[in-house]
A and B are shown apart, each in its own frame.
Chain A
Amino acid sequence: GAVVSQHPSWVICKSGTSVKIECRSLDFQATTMFWYRQFPKQSLMLMATSNEGSKATYEQGVEKDKFLINHASLTLSTLTVTSAHPEDSSFYICSARPGEVQPQHFGDGTRLSIL
């Protein structure tokens, strides 16, 4: 149980393109989902916390207009990287939590490469 699906797993696109990444909890409802970014050989950095039906909470230094997060249902959160540039190339990972005191369950991640 507690499976999180992330799609797509790999994206290559041109600079200036907007890219949407989906994160779905397949067998549970998630009131809270998290979006992380992982640079090569570095740890996961929390970008934002997404709560169903409300605005996401962004970590310091993360541009909310650049990384649009939508959590429209209890099983789906999306991250849209707007007007992506090569410096946005990274590994993006989402996680979902079934409840406030429950641990996070992670997706497989999305490798984003901007040419």
Chain B
Amino acid sequence: NAGVTQTPKFRILKIGQSMTLQCTQDMNHNYMYWYRQDPGMGLKLIYYSVGAGITDKGEVPNGYNVSRSTTEDFPLRLELAAPSQTSVYFCASSSWTSGGASNEQFFGPGTRLTVL
């Protein structure tokens, strides 16, 4: 299993451009998440999904959009990129079950995005 894969690894955008960060998992997990990581700030949840066709906002959703048409894929869309969106973006997945022994989230390798 490849686990959680993300593309691209690096990207430089100009202010106002748009792009989609791709995330795919091959573990048949029903839960998927997008985080951004800024220095000294930890990881902040942008959006999450509990299954295909179901998405919801996290802590910092402004400027982003997501979709979940399949179990495997959870792309993150940036519209009208701004310098404040310069960050490292991580996708994660988990197979949460009520009372389960582990709620482990598996993370991808990240996408480093710079907006100039």
Q: Do A and B bind each other?
A: no
Tell me the B residues contacting A by CB distance below 8 Å: none
